[in-house]
Amino acid sequence: MTRSTRLTAASLAGLIVLTACDRSSTPTPEQAAATAATAGATAHTFNAAINAADFGEMVKQLASDEFEGRGPGSPGEEKSVEYIKAQFERLGLKPGNNGSYFQTVPMVQTTADETTVLKLDVKGQPRELKFGSDMVIGTRTGKPEVKIDASDLVFVGYGVNAPEQKWNDYAGVDVKGKTVMMFVNDPGFHSQDEKLFEGKRMTYYGRWTYKFEEAARQGAAAALIIHDNEGASYGWDVVKNSWSGAQFDLPAKDDPDPRLPVQGWISGDTARRLMSDLGQDLDKLYQAANKPGFKAIPLQAKLSVDLKSQISEKSSRNVVALLPGAKRPDEAIVYMAHWDHLGNHAHEADEHGASSASAADDVIYNGAIDNATGVAGILEIAEAFSKQTPPPDRSLLFLAVTLEESGLLGSKYYVAHPAVPLDKTVAVINLDAMPVIGKARDMTVVGYGSSQLEDILKRVADGQGRVLHPEATPQDGFYFRSDHFNFAKAGVPALYAKGGDDLIEGGTAAGRLAQVDYRDNRYHKPADEYDAGWKMDGVVQDLEALYSVGRDLAGSEKWPTWYEGNAFRSAQQRLRPTDQ
């Protein structure tokens, strides 16, 4: 992999010092100051206006090999957060978290032994599922060893209990101590039944996070989601890359959501073979699970596993900066992006415990699109606000969060411990995986039809000669897969928008082809690297639009609300009852 960064010798020296540090140790104030001074040092001269050169420079830095894939708790984290802090300091922004640029996020790092096998008794016959090829599992208990012995398997359809939809896949079955297997996505997805749930649009019930939480509430000992590319919106390699290696959680005391002893995924091919051995047809199970009144099916199989994991308590950091408002500084608009990615996989083990990487392998998951683009985006917007005349009336909070790839944990922690009270947070604008494929005639609003923030964005887009569209694949559930979701659950109006797919050059066909190419060839893969050939005029236009939304809010007394009927409106009514 080429090393495209342009760090100075002084900067490299500072970063080399950091790589020798144990992450659990805290730098001295002198070390931190020296690092902040060098981490952002480049030969680049920044411009006050939002522009492609500045944006590209920051993406290139954040996605360089030197930042090692920005893994939480790694030397790459130190380089990443210090670089972001240095950029905030360059812009003259103030520390945003009680006098600090950092918010410490406690975390438990769990690395499952990849030699683990799932042992099955299938109608009296032994079967073994191998880690990586057949399944990927882990534990959120924080325990170095979890044993499950002869746990009965139960197929529970989509694993959904939704009273308002009059749907309960757990009705009439007791799964306490048992292992549940389920499909990904919502009931109705695989049958294309528009009458179930929200049709093509994924609801939170379709997300793997919900399914594991519900299985834990039901008392299951383990849960396995049956993977399929269409239902998950990505291939098995993404599951394997994302769930192998170190996994992160908030400590149980900081996260009240229920937890399973063992949870994970089973490949579609493996599930098909297993069901066939049990006298079941996977295709017929898809049909049955997509019909109202589905009843869980006990399977003639038992699961046993001895899962050993390396456990360590560490911490990661959100980076928080504030531009105080000139007239109403206690009210703030939040711009956010997650800085973390999947890190360096050089030390992954194969099924025999040996290193699975050769010298020629690319083992750094650089995360250029996901999400160096978002971080560079909020930095560009921060620069525009810092040079704005007159200055904004309300405050602007710029938040680079950690542990998004581990289940939106950094933003979850921030929402529980906000630097600006949530009832004083006007709105949150989230930047994640910004497209760099050229100008488009449209903007994509993920979760389109949610809040009055879209009314502001529409006026801005009209001025750019663009239109707003919902995401092309609402079944992929992107609204629940990025950090704004934690703010939305708390009631804060959230906007997640980016460039659309109707490109000036090539139209919708070219735009969607580019999106599919990224999903299939770079998403959560080492190939997600910075490319000097990107067409960045489109992302500049997107950043200008999102800056304009914040500028409108920061210069007014508006308190946008969720639209009538939106699931998050009631949370906002509790948060700010006077706005409704």
**Each residue's pLDDT tens digit, 52-108:** 999 999 999 999 999 999 999 999 999 999 999 999 999 999 999 999 999 999 999
What pLDDT shows up at residue 42? 62
Distance CA 432, CA 371 (A): 6
What pLDDT shows up at residue 571? 93
| Burial environment of residue 407 by CB neighbours within 10 A (0 to 12, 13 to 18, 19 or more) | buried
Q: Letter for the amino acid at 496?
A: Y
Distance CA 246, CA 285 (A): 33
371 cis-preceded (ω within 30 degrees of 0): yes
What pLDDT shows up at residue 360? 58
* 281, 297 Cβ separation under 8 angstroms: no
Distance CA 274, CA 282 (A): 9
H or E segment and range at residue 85: helix 75-90
* 214, 233 Cβ separation under 8 angstroms: no
H or E segment and range at residue 179: strand 179-183
H or E segment and range at residue 484: helix 484-490
* 223, 175 Cβ separation under 8 angstroms: no
H or E segment and range at residue 167: strand 167-168
H or E segment and range at residue 540: helix 537-554
At 503 the three-state DSSP class reads strand
As a whole number, mean pLDDT of residues 431-435 equals 97
At 20 the three-state DSSP class reads coil
Q: Letter for the amino acid at 94?
A: K
27 compared with 224, residue with greater pLDDT? 224
Which residues partner with 335 through β-bridges? Answer: 398, 429
Model confidence pLDDT, tens digit, residues 518-544: 999 999 999 999 999 999 999 999 999
What pLDDT shows up at residue 525? 94
* 350, 413 Cβ separation under 8 angstroms: no
The answer, yes or no, to whether residue 133 has pLDDT greater than 90, is yes
Distance CA 201, CA 423 (A): 29
Long-range contacts from 194-197, C-beta under 8 angstroms, 24+ separation: 196/165, 196/290, 196/292, 197/162, 197/165, 197/167
* 249, 406 Cβ separation under 8 angstroms: yes
Binned at pLDDT 50, 70 and 90, residue 219 comes out as very high
Average pLDDT, the chain: 90
Distance CA 85, CA 101 (A): 7
The answer, yes or no, to whether residue 5 has pLDDT greater than 70, is no
Binned at pLDDT 50, 70 and 90, residue 276 comes out as very high
With a CB cutoff of 8 Å and minimum separation 6, the contacts of 155 are 180, 181, 182, 280, 285, 296, 297, 299
Q: Give the CA radius of gyration of the chain.
A: 24
Strand ranges inside 232-357, DSSP E: 246-249, 262-266, 297-323, 328-338, 343-344
Percent of the chain at pLDDT > 90 equals 81
User: What is the sign of the dihedral through the CA atoms of 105, 106, 112 and 113?
Assistant: positive
What pLDDT shows up at residue 299? 97
As a whole number, mean pLDDT of residues 256-275 equals 95
Q: Shortest CA distance to 540 belongs to which of 456, 465, 440?
A: 440
User: What is the sign of the dihedral through the CA atoms of 180, 186, 192 and 193?
Assistant: positive
Distance CA 63, CA 528 (A): 9
Per-range mean pLDDT, top range of 300-304, 353-357, 406-410:
300-304
Structure tokens that stand for 99 in this block:
């006098």
Binned at pLDDT 50, 70 and 90, residue 506 comes out as very high
Model confidence pLDDT, tens digit, residues 159-205: 999 998 999 999 999 999 999 999 999 999 999 998 999 888 888 89
Percent of the chain at pLDDT > 70 equals 90
What pLDDT shows up at residue 350? 44
Distance CA 101, CA 86 (A): 10
168 cis-preceded (ω within 30 degrees of 0): no
* 38, 11 Cβ separation under 8 angstroms: yes
Binned at pLDDT 50, 70 and 90, residue 580 comes out as low
Binned at pLDDT 50, 70 and 90, residue 579 comes out as low
b/e per residue, 473-494, with b = 16+ CB within 10 A? bbbbbbbbbbbbbbbbbbbbbb
The answer, yes or no, to whether residue 121 has pLDDT greater than 90, is yes
Q: Letter for the amino acid at 126?
A: P
Model confidence pLDDT, tens digit, residues 8-26: 323 323 332 232 333 333 4
29 compared with 197, residue with greater pLDDT? 197
The answer, yes or no, to whether residue 151 has pLDDT greater than 50, is yes
258 cis-preceded (ω within 30 degrees of 0): no
What pLDDT shows up at residue 155? 98
The answer, yes or no, to whether residue 37 has pLDDT greater than 50, is no
The answer, yes or no, to whether residue 33 has pLDDT greater than 80, is no
User: What is the sign of the dihedral through the CA atoms of 315, 318, 321 and 322?
Assistant: negative
The answer, yes or no, to whether residue 396 has pLDDT greater than 70, is yes
